[in-house]
Structure 1
Amino acid sequence: MSMPAERFDAAKNQPEESESGLPEFRASLGFDLDPFQEEACRAVASGSGVLVAAPTGAGKTVVGEFAIFQALRTGRKAFYTTPIKALSNQKYSDLVATYGPERVGLLTGDMTINGEAEIVVMTTEVLRNMLYADSDTLDSLGYVVMDEVHYLADKFRGAVWEEVIIHLREDVQVISLSATVSNAEEFGGWLDAVRGDTRIIVSEHRPIPLFQHVMVGGRLVDLFAEDVSFDQVADTPERVAEVNPELTKMAHRGLTGSRGRVQRGRGRRGGGGTWGEKREQMGTRVSRPDMIMALDHAGLLPSLVFIFSRNGCDAAVAQCVRSGLALTTIAESTEIEQTIDIVAHKLPPDDLEVLGFWPWREGLMRGFAAHHAGLLPIFKEVVEDLFVRGLVKAVFATETLALGVNMPARSVVMEKLEKFNGESHVSVTAGEYTQLTGRAGRRGIDVEGHAVVLWQQDTDPAAIAGLASKRTYPLNSSFRPTYNMSLNLTSQFGRERARGILETSFAQFQADRSVVGMARQVRSREESLAGYAKSMTCHMGDFKEYAALREQLSVAEKEASKTISRLRRSAVSESLESLTRGDIIEIHGARKLGRCVVIELDNSWHDPRPTVLTEDKHIRRVGVQDLNGPVEVISQIRIPKGFTGRSPKERRDLAASLHNALAESRPPRRGAPEFTFSGSDEQEELIVRLRAALKAHPCHACPEREDHARWGERHSKLLRDTNKLRAQISGRTNTISKTFDRVAKVLEDFEYLVPASDDLGQAQITDAGQRLRRIYGERDLLTSLVMETGAMNEMTAEELAGFISALVFQARREDHGPDPRMPTAKVQIAWETSVNLWSRLSDAEANAGLPETVAPDSGLIWPIYKWARGSDLRECLRGTDLAGGDFVRWAKQVIDVLDQLAKIPDLNTGLARSCNQAVQRIRRGVVAYSNVVD
């Protein structure tokens, strides 16, 4: 395979006639093509597939647009695929503006517009489903543009990209657009192997140079000692840029008071640094309003500020509003108000408050906003629109914004270089840093972009420089066969050919190439293990044995703690559920409310939250999280009829009755009551045995025991990681087909596949298996198993809507609460059925050596059930921690699954009817609204 530079030289020498439509396309642009764009377009014109890897903002999409131009020119169809619906919506709008609504369609699962058009924008899952269904829409398809193709590394949805690439017809040209990845040649080599002639075009040049800074207090300080941009640092491997010595001194001293070298003013309003110079005292942190003011003074707005927390983004907007900060002129505020009012008129008035509309509106009017997955989709679309129009100057965003949505800025700020990945706090990788800061610098507007990291107490300037010096990251496959995929492949190609097809995946391609590097890692780790073992050697006994006992005890205590936590929550919940109006209780816990009287009950949710009046006449709601243990009823008083608690007199009178009742009852308890919760007898016995064994071990008396233990913990962790690596090496050959065989075994266990016999020659798919072929999602087999029991057949539309959510929803935080009460008996039966089937399925998966299917989750059952019955949004979200945007996003996924079920051939007639009715009942109000169609 020739190198990109050699192919580029060859491409420049090709005659103009071979360009086939390129001159006409070039003339329509109004700007000159960059060299990498020229090379990629020539490759498309010559009939080759292409992989274009270039930085964010470099103009990769021009290549995809040329493919669309070629499709229209030659009378063929073009599909433009994206990983997320928001990006599909945005691209659809762009293409409609270019080619008109009659020539462009949109398919995103829950949205269908002109699906048979010449150009169709869609999510990748939609195209995958078309391929398995052999849809007529694929007729005349000539080009598929796969935008953000590096998304195939996504743990949950990345496999879809590989399925599509493998299954598209050979005559379809695939144009893959990727962020800059370090193994583009490897990925391109795989594309060439499975798709045929594929050209690899790599550009590491940013059209807009990117300069790096650290904000210390209110000052911008250059990260590097020299006046160098990101391009100059990253493009010259032999060049090592020196970190600004002032930052190094600050890090060493742990101080931020030294004045440092202020960032020079390269064309910004007012020059750099004077904002910081006006501040008499510098701190390690700068407030968010002051940070925005400093950026504004330095001429670095508009800016994207990445905060890896939804609450942090919302808090940042609130802080800016409270500070009185305003970034907009009167004319800009008026224009923003007009845009917002259009949205407000299309939303149900009763939902505006619960959606946080008014604080959102206030922030936008002042020129700043939040952007995260918890926002209503239409709110995010408005923020994106106003930011692109230059009306919103600062957006506080989570990293989800970095994926594809077109929101370039003059500067990008990283509040921290650490984020929570769902399990623990981890450092931002070089690839993530590149992706996030890559939005700085608007092509055609800015002459340079700026990346800013906020100084923290433990900031290491050398670590920031390391991130800023690496712009690439490896693209690793997340592909593995699913139940649905395995059945579809078996149905189309037979089991043996399906195994062969799976062996062509990028995952297997990488596995076959990676064993040498993995073996090298094992050898290196074995040397480290030997060193750790030597350091943990104890003269009093076998410290490995002692360390193993400590680890077993730690695991056992954690499990017992989880059990105790569940028991406590259950006992507290039961005590709250048993309360009646007028009960006097004493509350000991984090909020220290003391003695109160229950004035209102709320058992509409599995987490009861009664309302109480305290002795000092405050009205509060009490939940499980507020209590250390079950509440005890001290006394009882009568609550006056019609009591609302709104007037001070009502509260005073009832508080007086509370005091009188307490004076007549037994003396008040001092301190919190003692409640004892213990784990199971087996857990307690195991902990007692392990503690005794630990104390009896000779190493327990060693004076250097804790030093040895630290080395032992390192040894244990590294050994686990090394053993995983050894297992990967031992199972490297045919890894994907082996996984396919394990999946097939589980399908056979549940009678979705009949094993091959001498008579039949290959495995046969049962009727249940044929139905499962139409169900896509992480819980595809579990959904099918429940459906096959008939538990959903007699449900009403609202019951079905609520229950299906349990097979879709995944809570953001683990919940150890008690099993919830269900809306109806039918939902209760289906819930219990799903839990039992999941238990059987997870056992089968464990026996087969497969990852466990995600358990059903009841957290959305009541909200969706209420919504399907017509309740307003406030009522549906009461008692939950769901944001409005979360609810809408999950509701659309419930619609997607219901729509899949409704379209299954030979489905129970009543179930199909309920599915369609449920879709209509969910698709209303904020769930139905989308700027794309209005």
Structure 2
Amino acid sequence: PAGDRLDDPVVRGRAGAKGSQGGRDRARRRYATPRRPDVVEWLAEEDLLPAIVFVFSRHGCDEAAATIHAAGVRLTDAGERDRIRRIVDRHTGALRHDDLDALGFDRWREILEHGIAAHHAGMVPPFKEAVEQCFVEGLVKVVFATETLALGINMPARSVVIETLSKFTGEQHEPLTPGEYTQLTGRAGRRGIDELGRAVVLWSPYARFQEVAALVASRRFELRSAFRPTYNMAANLVRRHAPDEAERLLERSFAQYQADRGVVRQRARLEARRETLGRLEGEARCERGDVGEYLRLRRRDERDSDRRPDRQAITTALARLRPGDVVWTGGRRHAVLAVGWRGPDRGRVHLLDEQGRAHAVDSGDVDEIWVRAGQVDLPARYSPHDRAVQRQLARRLARADTPRPPRPPARRAAADDHPVAGCPDADAHVRAAVHAERVRREVADLEASIRLASHSIARELDAVLDVLATRRMVDGWQLTDRGELLVRIFHESDLLVADCLAEGLLDGLDPPSLAGLVSCFTYEHRSKLAAPAPRFPDRRLRQRFDQVVRRARALQGDEAAGGLSVTRAPDP
């Protein structure tokens, strides 16, 4: 009962009490979620360091460590800082200086030296290993970590802090299960050092005391197998085991035991999602026309509006300019004083406006095609940098009859002519259609999952091998050279990545373009709003991405035909 008062964060001031307005009751907050610096200082005062603070977001972990450091929290002495520096140097010595700069090394090391660190799967291995060693040696006093730290890494602490009892699963926020809570809090208490481990749950208005108490006291843990034959696993089975041995390994898996039991729950979820899909499809229907067709036209119009002139066309137009030519840019007329080139794509145009102001523009900063609107006569003895010449040229420019060239007519958006565009509820129809697309994919995934659970894990492996054979990753029960690539790739889109590597789609790109193309395998748009149209710096990168999309669609088609879970589409 005493814990129930924690569920009422607001108390009322007495009528006429000091600070009340007009003698009326005034609500004030009794409890609030503590700030991170306050939590760390409290842990230090209560002798509960070292501690692991679980934050269910990679970005959140990095942000938390930076926030604590910025608040002035310092948890190490000079000797500990010196030891941390030596550990960091040993783990990062093989990295180049430009790589370290790109990773924000100096800032990361400064925070680490003061006994504060983040730990998550998005960190490069040398950084993560340095944090782990520093924590094990007691040099780092507070680690902000995702739940992956609770799995398979020996980093016990005196105390564990859980900031929130829910986490985002990729689609929605879900409460921690008793098993997950036990896994996280199991890190509290160092064997042979601490008699007790302490787990701290921060107060939140979204979790009632009885819910927290029930979670802590629960002993009902349901084990779930995360095992399924992946492309990478299949490649490694082919590489290391005979066919019959591989089949026996799979048939003895816990996943095979659970497969049939999970079908009942999946069917219930499938029916619920089908009901949601039917409702959304109803909201997306319009008596004026096909909303799906209208949505496709809108998306195409958005892509077209984002297209910029080709860089080569801009460069060609600049190369044709001569001194005395008149161009319109920034809404004003300018006379060309001079054009200089330091390479095929590195030029500079010197311009003069009607007020006699001269300035230079680099070709890389021009984002439109400059059209020659006319010409002014140059003085007999022309020197582009002579101020007297520039003033004379500015007067001639002001008198010149060089109207602005007509702009090409704007392309009318095709969606504007669609019948649905005139519907007052068009936007609501589109939102429902976008949501329905996502639910439709969920339904397809659930249907595929149920089909898989109705068969053995070994037969699922056969379907995986068929897809690998189609992409020349295996030949019978033998890995090909392409398949050797797959053995070393651990990613949710492992086969798509290996296929693109084997086809050379990542070859010959400069570092920014390579990073941009690789990001389509790792990024996933999670907002309920429609994703913005992608933008590409050049035609070559767009062509490469289009090739990746074509290979992804072919892979998805083969997976659907084989009853396999479909690989997530690349997201630009």
Find out whether 1:245 has 2:4 as its counterpart.
Answer: yes
SS of corresponding position for 1:379:
helix
Residues 747 and 529 of structure 1: CA distance in aligned 2, closer, same or farther (over 3 Å):
closer
Answer whether contact 1:490 1:498 (CA < 8 A) is retained. Answer: no
Q: Which residue of 2 aligns with 1:549?
A: 285
How far is the alpha carbon of 1:854 from its aligned partner?
Answer: 5.6
- Matched pairs, number: 480
Answer whether contact 2:53 2:162 (CA < 8 A) is retained. Answer: yes
Q: Which residue of 1 aligns with 2:81?
A: 333
Answer whether contact 1:302 1:390 (CA < 8 A) is retained. Answer: yes
Task: Output the CA distance in 2 between the equivalents of 1:525 and 1:829.
Answer: 37
TM-score (normalised: structure 1): 0.40
Q: How does 1:504-543 map to 2 (within 5 A)?
A: 504-514=252-262, 517-518=264-265, 522=268
Answer whether contact 1:484 1:781 (CA < 8 A) is retained. Answer: no
Find out whether 1:360 has 2:108 as its counterpart.
Answer: yes
Residues 363 and 835 of structure 1: CA distance in aligned 2, closer, same or farther (over 3 Å):
closer
Q: Which residue of 1 aligns with 2:227?
A: 478
Q: Which residue of 2 aligns with 1:734?
A: 455
Q: Which residue identity lines up with residue 333 of structure 1 in the other structure?
A: R
How far is the alpha carbon of 1:289 from its aligned partner?
Answer: 1.8
Identity value in percent:
31
Q: Which has the higher contact order (CA 8 A, sep 6+)?
A: 2
Q: How does 1:42-191 map to 2 (within 5 A)?
A: none
Residues 817 and 402 of structure 1: CA distance in aligned 2, closer, same or farther (over 3 Å):
farther
SS of corresponding position for 2:206:
coil
The correspondence for 1:812, drawn from 489, 509, 523, is 523
Gaps of 5+ in 1: 1-224, 227-243, 258-279, 534-541, 588-600, 605-622, 625-629, 637-659, 666-673, 696-704, 754-763, 860-934
SS of corresponding position for 1:392:
coil
Residues 449 and 501 of structure 1: CA distance in aligned 2, closer, same or farther (over 3 Å):
closer
Find out whether 1:849 has 2:567 as its counterpart.
Answer: no
How far is the alpha carbon of 1:784 from its aligned partner?
Answer: 7.5
How far is the alpha carbon of 1:305 from its aligned partner?
Answer: 1.6
Q: Which residue of 2 aligns with 1:439?
A: 187
The correspondence for 2:72, drawn from 313, 317, 324, is 324
Q: Which residue identity lines up with residue 313 of structure 1 in the other structure?
A: C
How far is the alpha carbon of 1:294 from its aligned partner?
Answer: 2.0
How far is the alpha carbon of 1:786 from its aligned partner?
Answer: 6.9
The correspondence for 1:429, drawn from 160, 165, 176, is 176
Answer whether contact 1:433 1:468 (CA < 8 A) is retained. Answer: yes
Please give the per-residue CA displacement for 1:311-362, whole angstroms capped at 9, x wherever unaligned. 3333323323332222223443344344445557665455544332322232
Please give the per-residue CA displacement for 1:274-302, whole angstroms capped at 9, x wherever unaligned. xxxxxx99763433222211222222221
Q: How does 1:16-55 map to 2 (within 5 A)?
A: none
Answer whether contact 1:304 1:395 (CA < 8 A) is retained. Answer: yes
SS of corresponding position for 2:157:
coil
Answer whether contact 1:372 1:398 (CA < 8 A) is retained. Answer: yes
Q: Which residue identity lines up with residue 851 of structure 1 in the other structure?
A: S
Q: Which residue identity lines up with residue 460 of structure 2 in the other structure?
A: T
How far is the alpha carbon of 1:395 from its aligned partner?
Answer: 1.4
Find out whether 1:311 has 2:59 as its counterpart.
Answer: yes
How far is the alpha carbon of 1:397 from its aligned partner?
Answer: 2.0
Q: How does 1:794-813 map to 2 (within 5 A)?
A: 810-813=521-524
Residues 575 and 249 of structure 1: CA distance in aligned 2, closer, same or farther (over 3 Å):
farther
Please give the per-residue CA displacement for 1:60-89, whole angstroms capped at 9, x wherever unaligned. xxxxxxxxxxxxxxxxxxxxxxxxxxxxxx
Q: How does 1:277-676 map to 2 (within 5 A)?
A: 284-340=32-88, 347-349=95-97, 351-421=99-169, 423-430=170-177, 431-470=179-218, 472-480=221-229, 482=231, 485=234, 502-514=250-262, 517-518=264-265, 522=268, 546-547=282-283, 549=285, 563=300, 566-569=303-306, 571-572=307-308, 578=314
Residues 428 and 408 of structure 1: CA distance in aligned 2, closer, same or farther (over 3 Å):
farther
How far is the alpha carbon of 1:836 from its aligned partner?
Answer: 4.8
Answer whether contact 1:752 1:766 (CA < 8 A) is retained. Answer: no
TM-score (normalised: structure 2): 0.61
Please give the per-residue CA displacement for 1:676-696, whole angstroms capped at 9, x wherever unaligned. 885xx6x778x745986989x
Please give the per-residue CA displacement for 1:744-763, whole angstroms capped at 9, x wherever unaligned. 5546766888xxxxxxxxxx
Q: Which residue identity lines up with residue 562 of structure 2 in the other structure?
A: A
Task: Output the CA distance in 2 between the equivalents of 1:577 and 1:412.
Answer: 60
Please give the per-residue CA displacement for 1:773-819, whole angstroms capped at 9, x wherever unaligned. 78424667667767887x69xx89x999x989979983234593338
Answer whether contact 1:305 1:415 (CA < 8 A) is retained. Answer: yes
SS of corresponding position for 1:369:
strand
Residues 853 and 429 of structure 1: CA distance in aligned 2, closer, same or farther (over 3 Å):
same
Task: Output the CA distance in 2 between the equivalents of 1:463 and 1:557.
Answer: 47
Task: Output the CA distance in 1 between the equivalents of 2:270 and 2:566.
Answer: 29
Task: Output the CA distance in 1 between the equivalents of 2:479 and 2:555.
Answer: 16
Please give the per-residue CA displacement for 1:668-727, whole angstroms capped at 9, x wherever unaligned. xxxxxx98885xx6x778x745986989xxxxxxxxx99xxx9xx999999998998787
Answer whether contact 2:472 2:483 (CA < 8 A) is retained. Answer: no
Aligned-residue CA RMSD (Å): 6.3
Q: Which residue identity lines up with residue 485 of structure 1 in the other structure?
A: A
Task: Output the CA distance in 2 between the equivalents of 1:720 and 1:835.
Answer: 17
Please give the per-residue CA displacement for 1:514-560, whole angstroms capped at 9, x wherever unaligned. 55x549x74x998x999x99xxxxxxxx989844737x988777666
Please give the per-residue CA displacement for 1:106-161, whole angstroms capped at 9, x wherever unaligned. xxxxxxxxxxxxxxxxxxxxxxxxxxxxxxxxxxxxxxxxxxxxxxxxxxxxxxxx
Task: Output the CA distance in 2 between the equivalents of 1:842 and 1:716.
Answer: 16
Task: Output the CA distance in 1 between the equivalents of 2:143 and 2:60.
Answer: 12
Answer whether contact 1:419 1:427 (CA < 8 A) is retained. Answer: yes
Task: Output the CA distance in 1 between the equivalents of 2:477 and 2:544.
Answer: 23
Residues 544 and 771 of structure 1: CA distance in aligned 2, closer, same or farther (over 3 Å):
closer
Answer whether contact 2:229 2:464 (CA < 8 A) is retained. Answer: no
Q: Which residue of 1 aligns with 2:385?
A: none
Please give the per-residue CA displacement for 1:833-892, whole angstroms capped at 9, x wherever unaligned. 7665544443333333333446679x9xxxxxxxxxxxxxxxxxxxxxxxxxxxxxxxxx
Task: Output the CA distance in 2 between the equivalents of 1:561 and 1:256.
Answer: 53
How far is the alpha carbon of 1:508 from its aligned partner?
Answer: 2.7
How far is the alpha carbon of 1:391 from its aligned partner?
Answer: 2.1
How far is the alpha carbon of 1:420 from its aligned partner?
Answer: 3.9
Residues 513 and 676 of structure 1: CA distance in aligned 2, closer, same or farther (over 3 Å):
same
